[in-house]
Structure 1
Amino acid sequence: MTQPNLDWHNLGFQYIKTDQRYVSSWRDGAWDSGTLTEDHLVHISEGSTALHYGQQCFEGLKAYRCQDGSINLFRPDQNAARMQRSCARLLMPPVPTEMFIEACRQVVLANERFIPPYGSGGALYLRPYLIGVGDNIGVRTAPEFRFSVFCTPVGSYFKGGLTPANFIVSSYDRAAPNGTGAAKVGGNYAASLLPGQEAKNQHFADCIYLDPATHTKIEEVGAANFLAITRDGRRLVTPKSPSILESITKFSLLDIARDRLGLEVEQGDVLIDGLDAYSEAGACGTAAVITPIGGIQHGEKFHVFYSETEVGPVMRALYDELTGIQYGDRPAPAGWIVKVK
């Protein structure tokens, strides 16, 4: 197996074309058997609803090379379930869980040479997506659908890996109060491009979104979920809202915090004017893993958590436990790991 000429320790988070991807089509009420293809281009009708009306959703998960050479998929059943919820919101046919996991498994095996080696800090990022296709012009659900999974080797999403990053509160809303915020759909991300760029123009890693109804409570950190540790070090708090995309990483961290670190966990309101209650904070997600938050700019005030340069002890412990499970170095809770090889 020829290895690609890549600097495994400095990958970053960017597209790298790999060997094969999985494709399946939905027609006449059923998915076909699916296949692997070397063609990385998507050929669809110019009338496809994905192009004009945003009828599409996607997922993100990773495969990890373990020290013994085996390959782990982390909680793919939860990605399948979340995609099914997104499909229901956008009137798209759901991909069955077994089909979703098998597609991911095939893609990992077909592109095994692109999995970053154990110890590099990298992983193979999988991007399942589902789009409405077929000849159409009216505002209605598509006549056909395409489900595909491709992959690319990645490193850290935010520059610097497990180092604190600073964020700024945005005046924009990520999603409407009763909109598609809880679904992983492209429109939410398109809306985030401008505020995200404005944050970067001001030398922040990304922006913080407040709740769209009152603009008083933290909801998301760019494309990641927010979590914080109370000053007494005993509780992990994360926002709860119907317009948040619920992160599989976040729910995994809640379990780890409760069951392995002995913390109390709480989903509730995180007031933007109440940040003094927290000693540490972080952004979490499949891509970000955990990015400690050094500080948050809100209006004229800049609030610093544990440090702008050092990682707090709880964020470090959560990161070590989560990545230890993903790379097979620490025991995983039942059902969290699917062995690909």
Structure 2
Amino acid sequence: MEELDWSNLSFGYMKTDYNVRCYYRNGKWGKLELSSEETINIHMAATCLHYGQEAFEGLKAFRGKDGKVRIFRPEANSQRLQSTCNGILMPELPTEIFIEAVKTAVKANERFIPPYESGASLYIRPLLIGTGAQVGVRPANEYLFIIFVTPVGPYFKGGFATTPYIITRKYDRAAPLGTGIYKVGGNYAASLRASQEAHAAGYSAEFYLDAKEKKYIDECGAANFFGIKNNTYVTPLSTSILPSITNKSLMQLAEDLGLKVERRPIAEEELSTFEEAGACGTAAVISPILRIDDPDNNHSYVISKDGKPGPVCTKLYNKLRAIQYGDEPDLHNWVTIVD
């Protein structure tokens, strides 16, 4: 293949050699299959198309200085997918099948894993869809699990730099007891208009308040929020927020660095008290927040006074990436090395 310009990759889809597939039929999961097809053939009455029986995950593989390939926390992604399956009545994919499928997809596309220090990584996208035909609103009897991979650059073009965000009251991403805690496509469809409007106004992403009272910080676009103050890492506790594996990892690293960790409701007014804040997720890792504007109240919460990422955000970002690349010891057994 033509040598890729690894340091200038966008965060987008690029065709790779293979994807991995596994079918659920007659009440059981089949064997993993390697496919070079980019398309899938499904029934027009498949439940994924009509009733939203669809779930996905996102994780990454990294090539270290030692040449080894490391996958970050695949067990956690497997567990979250199982939680989603349980939530929308799809058969749970066993963790051993998930891990084997991830490893198989990474190994089969090894030539697409970016080199160490290129700033790029291999993004891994597991997808589970209901393929059985139904007209009534009920679960399918057949499902398809797929994993494809693609090399990606930084989620935000500027990389690790502060950017502005905007609070939206016009839209809700998810209801308090809805599907917000599951990684389903519907949550992202619900955010598209708000996201487009935020981008058009010059913001990185939109911030949602809780759907019930519009008082508390919920999710930030497609990422979790955290704030730093008084040597404490604070992140929202809510029944409509996706449990981010990156946020979970950062909470542990914050404790390792001697910070206290609090998961609790965060009222909007509390934004003015944070010394640092960030949005976190697999794609961006940490996106430090410059300010959060609330146009409805004609107010702006300036988080970064000098326009730069704060010291705690920087430490956490560097620490997490060092573990992902194998530059620092993996004390919590988060990394799976591909043999």
Percent of aligned pairs with the same amino acid: 49
In the alignment, which residue of structure 2 is the partner of 1:280? 276
User: Partner of 1:23: helix, strand, or coil?
Assistant: strand
Q: CA offsets per residue over residues 266-310 of structure 1, 9 Å max, x none? A: 101111112121010000010110000101001211111124631
For residue 34 of structure 1, report the CA deviation from its aligned partner: 1.5
In the alignment, is the contact (CA less than 8 A) between 2:272 and 2:302 conserved in 1? no
- For the residues of structure 2 that align with 1:335 and 1:317, how far apart are their CA atoms? 20
Pairing of 1:188-337 with structure 2 (within 5 A) = 188-230=187-229, 232=230, 234-259=231-256, 261-299=257-295, 300-307=298-305, 309-337=307-335
Q: Distance in 2 between matches of 1:5 and 1:69?
A: 18
* 2:275 match: secondary structure: strand
SS in 1 for 2:55: strand
Query: Following TM superposition, by how much is the alpha carbon of 1:27 offset from its aligned partner in structure 2, in angstroms?
Result: 0.5
Paired with 1:333 and 1:242, the residues of 2 have a C-alpha distance of 30
RMSD: 1.0
Displacement, 1:6? 2.0
1-side partners of 2:51 and 2:282: how far apart?
27
Relative distance call for 1:83 and 1:229 in structure 2 (3 A) is same
- 1:1-341 equivalences under 5 Å are 2=1, 4-171=2-169, 172-230=171-229, 232=230, 234-259=231-256, 261-299=257-295, 300-307=298-305, 309-341=307-339
Native 8 Å contact 1:164 1:308 kept in 2: no
TM-score under structure 1 length normalisation: 0.97
Going from structure 1 to structure 2, the CA distance change for 1:97 and 1:308 (only over 3 Å counts) comes to: farther
Counterpart of 2:285, as a letter, is V
**Does the 8 A contact of 1:164 with 1:307 survive in 2?**
no
d(CA) in 2 for partners of 1:14 and 1:90? Answer: 28
Q: Distance in 1 between matches of 2:75 and 2:224?
A: 20
Q: Which amino acid aligns with 1:291?
A: S
- Asked if structure 2 preserves the Cα contact closer than 8 Å seen for 1:165 and 1:308, the reply is no
Give the distance between the partners of 1:86 and 1:177, measured in 2 at CA: 16
Alpha-carbon deviations, 1:197-227, whole Å to 9, x = none? 0101111011001111111111111000001
Instruction: Give the letter for the 2:227 counterpart.
Output: A
- Structure 2: 5+ residue stretches without partners: none
Matched residues, number: 336
Structure 1, gaps ≥5 residues long: none
1:239 counterpart letter in structure 2:
P
Which secondary structure state, in structure 2, belongs to the residue aligned with residue 98 of structure 1? helix
Q: Report the Cα distance in structure 2 between the residues aligned to 1:146 and 1:308, rounded to whole angstroms.
A: 49
